[in-house]
Chains A and B, each alone.
Chain A
Amino acid sequence: MLSCLALDSRLGGVLFIDLRPDLLQRLATWLNDSLAGPDGSHDIVTLGAADTDEDLWWRVSPQNVTPMGFRPTPGPLIDAPGAPPKTIIVPDLARAGLAVTRAATVLIGSWVGVADRHGMHAEWAPGSRWLSACARSDLPRLSPHLLDRFPMRVDARDLSRQPFDPKAVRKCLETAGDEPLMPVLPAPMPVRRWSSQRRPPTLSPEAIDLVTDLIGATTAPHRRDLALARTARAIAAWEVADVVDEDHVRAAARLMGLPVGAADDNAVPTPLPTPQPASAVAEEVVIPQSSNATSASSTATSATAEARSERPEVKPSTVPVAERKPTGAGPSVRLAATALPPGRAALIEPEKTLYPENDDTSIAEYASLRRPWQRVGSPSQRRGTIIGAEPTRQLADIAVVPTMLEAAKFQSVRHHLTIRPSDLRRHRRQPLPDTALVLMIDHSCRRDWNFTAALSPYLRWAYTQRSAVSLIELGHRETEAELRAIRRRLGGTLDPGLDTALGRHPGRATPLAAGLDLAIQEMRLYLRNLPIRPEGSWLVVVSDGRGNIPLEASQRNLRPTAVNRAGIDDAVTVAADAARLPAVRVVILAPPSLAHYRDLPFALADAMGGIVARTEPSHDG
């Protein structure tokens, strides 16, 4: 996969699912070495949660001329003309800052990059490669818009599982490092030399038809078709083939974790080659002198049209990539990407796990690429998303780039660089919410009860306060993990996710203990990370207290054989932690009429240090 990415900048980036964090840097180094310029120059840029627009687009750098001063310089996302492409890594895409995710959305796979900030303008053809990692559990939460920029995804769980090697462990103990336990990567592929001497292979009409067949969904974005075709083309290029055929497409689909067909589901994944010392592999890389390719690309369109009318039936090949013979002139390069096969999980239900946005039931964070909605906060607040810069007379929370740029404007007039009070700029920040509502809904208790009316006072409060709102859901029919509770952080009470939650249908499993555990943990996080004011937090639990899934069953995601009172007892035990949360108001909203276990809501409330609120029975279903 990385070899393909190195060869074709239009592939943009790769998203590794469940990759061990320390491996991403190694993979980036490998890719970067492949992309290095003739002088060996290279650049790896790491982006994360703290990066802002000021860090990414334009910066100020000291100039080494007289008089000394500062000069605006392009930031890491702006590609300089003629410079070797950079490798940009985002170690955790789910936790990357807003500026990073927005930048990824507009740059990856784009024909043009444009930056206009602080009096500076740049326009370039983006060539950087993006490598990012994300936990599988976080994947469905990400914006589908952002995920679309990563059509190439790798299930990387198996990369983290190295066979146990006592010798390597001993070596680690001796060297005080863990290098011997790291997977050995092949030698970097010299992309620059390779690509400059070959024309890319042409896709055969059959290969193009297979790409559209494999992508399948009629509503899938074109970016995914193109990524599959480009990956197949890169594989063919590494094999020195003149034409991309159907086997190249199937090999590409396997790399991308796409289902290749029924016959292929039983195929053995591409084997992990025996690691070899870098020097040994490097000798295999031979650059062909020329290509005797004869198929003119301009004929591809008409050829495709002809072939389309008599499209052959798709018959998946079971020939592993490693066994394929080169079909073109010149010696081939063994594809380093075969060192990174999709994991076993990808073979079970690959498309669903790697492409959650295909699933209509997956709910991403709402409008996650937008700046947070307006809240009222203290003007002196020094936390919160940076949304700009403003003049200041104080030294707190100084915005360095705007301040330096302001001073830099006048350095010639002042004869040297001086920062005067009028130059000072501080960050303009989105105020953080100082109130929080954590809402836990146990849908299994709503058989004939519409609890929206009971919730409305709390939702109204959260709306007027512009509170941070989290929703914990359990016990509904639409969930894929019925033994667990699911947490969602909402954009506010107007988030469509809340509306969806209010309309769910009750299920049979009630993992109440897991739900309470998550709700309490969520409230704890809010108290720790937000400037929550006293009496500014509500933990609202909608439940009849009848948990039927013990906590351990939820944690292990195993259906319990016998429950008895374990589900209820676990819930009460877990609930006791809420009583230790400082200044959090707790309310249990219980159904108006309970035939059995009428005391359970009160038991929960007692444990949590809260109250029970009951509404009159409603007859509207």
Chain B
Amino acid sequence: MTSPAQPKVGDPLVLPYSRIVGQATLQLALEISYVEPAVGGVLATGQRGTAKSTTVRAFGRMVSGRLPVTLPIGATEDRIVGGWSVEDLVDGRTVWKAGLLEEVGGEKEPGTTDEAGGRKIPGMLYIDEVNLLEDHLVNIILDAAATGILTVQRDGVKKENVKVAFNLVGTMNPEEGSLRPQLLDRFGLVIPVRAASEANLRSQVLTEVLDFEQQVIELGGKVGALYRDDNKRYLQLENARQRLDDVAVPPGIIEIAGRIAELFDVEGHRGELAMLRAARALAAIRNSPAITPKLLAEVTPMALIHRRATSDSGRLRSWSIEDDSLLAACLGDVAPAAS
């Protein structure tokens, strides 16, 4: 197991993941999604200037050694599904350039091959300001995400059954409008993000960011050492991935998940599955041999907050103290999961 590559001189830098302050819940959700990709993607929604993008980019850099594949605002369709490489065409060569959905790639599951129908472990496709994404692009992404198959018919080229495996990780500011329910449902976990409110935390944010900027200047761009703690965390997450299959799912825990979903009026069964998968990943991260009601309670808000009934506007209902009480009552003597 090796650490991801370090940034080279001139590469765009982001704050190391291990130096992010005050975003523990978002970090936990990203880690859960990495350890158990079947959970689905992560959506961070919250007010401006709360380091949502920084956290996601830092996480992507930690686990892959490069910045995450990003679908930027204003991207065109050809860059999403693929198209001719314009630079090559200008020089008279015909080279197909894979789109971002293919570029995300994903890892092959160990011991499997494409021919044997082996599936891929989904990669991470980061969509910055996901609620500003154009509707027709959302449709393309939804189709590919739902089927795992990308079909391209453009510029005289037909590519069928291109396997794609990606988890969406999005950040958005709800002041600019909400997401379509279909897209919201593609995110396994949703985290409402707030700015750190305690003075001590705010000071710590400042210290970490300014120290990092200073150290980058001092090291003249040779910044590998600044990411040492990231590598440690990465190895811990890799170990958690290895342990994932060994985490036991006690029979009663599935019933509890079902009861919770019923209690919060969750449609369909994706909610229970997301809860159980997230709890299993959390158990692997915490080195717990089995899913416990407490672990289940901890992941419930992030797995269900967007799956509860809401108004037509799509505005997320916040997770309240009453929701905590309901959850606690459902779990008996289990402590509340969120405040």
Contact = CB atoms under 8 A, between A and B. Distances in A.
A405 interface: yes
A485 B76 CA distance: 42
Nearest to A409: B89
B176 A111 contact: no
Contacts of A105: 73, 129
Contacts of B6: none
Given A124-B12, A409-B84, A298 B57 contact: no
Interface stretch (B45-53, B253-261, B284-292): B45-53
Given A119-B83, A229-B206, A200 B217 contact: yes
B90 A69 contact: yes
Interface in A118-158: 118-121, 123-125, 143-145, 148
B90 A119 contact: no
Contacts of B14: 111-112
A301 B217 CA distance: 18
A219 B47 contact: yes
Main secondary structure of the interface of A (DSSP, over half): mixed
A57 to B, nearest CB: 6
B153 interface: no
Contact of A145 (B72, B100, B175, B194): B175
B86 interface: yes
Contacts of B215: 297-298
Contact of B87 (A56, A120, A368): A120
B73 to A, nearest CB: 5
B10 interface: yes
A224 B49 contact: yes
B115 interface: no
Contact of B89 (A103, A388, A410): A410
A112 to B, nearest CB: 4
Contacts of A112: 12, 14, 57, 67, 70
Interface string A364-389: 10111111000000000000000110
A311 to B, nearest CB: 8
Interface string B12-31: 11110000000000000000
Nearest to A109: B49
Contacts of B78: 118-119
B211 A119 contact: no
Nearest to A53: B74
Nearest to B199: A212
A118 B210 CA distance: 37
Contacts of A53: 74
A230 interface: yes
Given A106-B72, A106-B73, A405 B92 contact: no
B200 interface: yes
Contacts of A118: 76, 78-79, 86
Interface in B129-151: 129, 131-132, 134
A120 B84 CA distance: 10
A222 B11 CA distance: 24
A367 B86 CA distance: 34
Given A111-B12, A226-B206, A145 B213 contact: no
Contact of A199 (B72, B173, B210, B218): B218
Interface string A78-91: 00010000000000
Interface stretch (A202-210, A259-267, A543-551, A570-578): A202-210
Interface string B56-95: 0100000000010011111110111001111101111100
A276 interface: no
A222 B49 contact: yes
Given A81-B10, A369-B176, A387-B134, A72 B90 contact: yes
A72 B15 CA distance: 32
Contacts of A223: 48-49
Contact of A300 (B47, B72, B89, B211): B211
B174 to A, nearest CB: 10
A208 B204 CA distance: 9
Interface string B265-287: 00000000000000000000000
A413 B74 contact: no
A10 B14 CA distance: 12
B74 A408 contact: no
B97 interface: yes
Contact of B12 (A125, A202, A371, A411): A125
Contact of B79 (A117, A199, A209, A297): A117
A56 B74 CA distance: 10
B331 interface: no
B12 A123 contact: yes
A413 B12 contact: no
B196 interface: yes
Contacts of A456: none
A20 interface: no
Contacts of B196: 222
Contacts of A224: 49
B197 A148 contact: no
A619 B228 CA distance: 70
A397 interface: no
B90 A106 contact: no
A119 B97 contact: yes
Contact of A213 (B91, B132, B199): B199
Contacts of A69: 90
A71 interface: yes
A115 B79 CA distance: 10
A44 interface: no
A235 interface: no
Contacts of B11: 125
B203 interface: yes
Nearest to B11: A125
Interface string B169-181: 0000101110000
Contact of A72 (B49, B67, B84, B87): B87
A102 interface: yes
Given A106-B72, A111-B54, A297-B214, A409 B90 contact: yes
Contacts of B317: none
A220 B74 contact: no
Nearest to B198: A218
Contacts of A225: 202, 205-206
B208 interface: yes
A16 to B, nearest CB: 21
A239 B159 CA distance: 62
Given A117-B75, A221-B48, A369-B176, A72 B195 contact: no
Interface string A390-426: 0000000000000001001111110000000000000
A109 to B, nearest CB: 9
A102 B74 contact: yes
Contacts of A202: 210, 214
B320 interface: no
B84 A208 contact: no
B89 to A, nearest CB: 4
A119 B173 contact: no
A116 interface: yes
A229 B175 CA distance: 26
Given A112-B67, A308-B200, 18 more contacts: A72-B87, A114-B70, A116-B71, A119-B79, A200-B213, A221-B50, A222-B51, A230-B210, A297-B211, A298-B215, A369-B132, A388-B76, A409-B86, A409-B89, A411-B90, A411-B92, A412-B92, A412-B93
Q: Which 5 A-B pairs have the closest CB atoms?
A: A221-B49, A412-B92, A223-B49, A116-B79, A218-B197
Interface of B: 10-15, 47-51, 53-54, 57, 67, 70-76, 78-80, 83-87, 89-93, 97, 100, 128-129, 131-132, 134, 173, 175-177, 194-200, 202-211, 213-215, 217-218
25 contacts: A72-B87, A81-B10, A102-B73, A106-B129, A111-B54, A114-B72, A115-B74, A116-B79, A119-B83, A121-B79, A125-B11, A148-B48, A203-B206, A215-B202, A218-B195, A222-B196, A225-B205, A229-B210, A297-B214, A300-B207, A408-B86, A409-B86, A410-B89, A411-B92, A412-B93
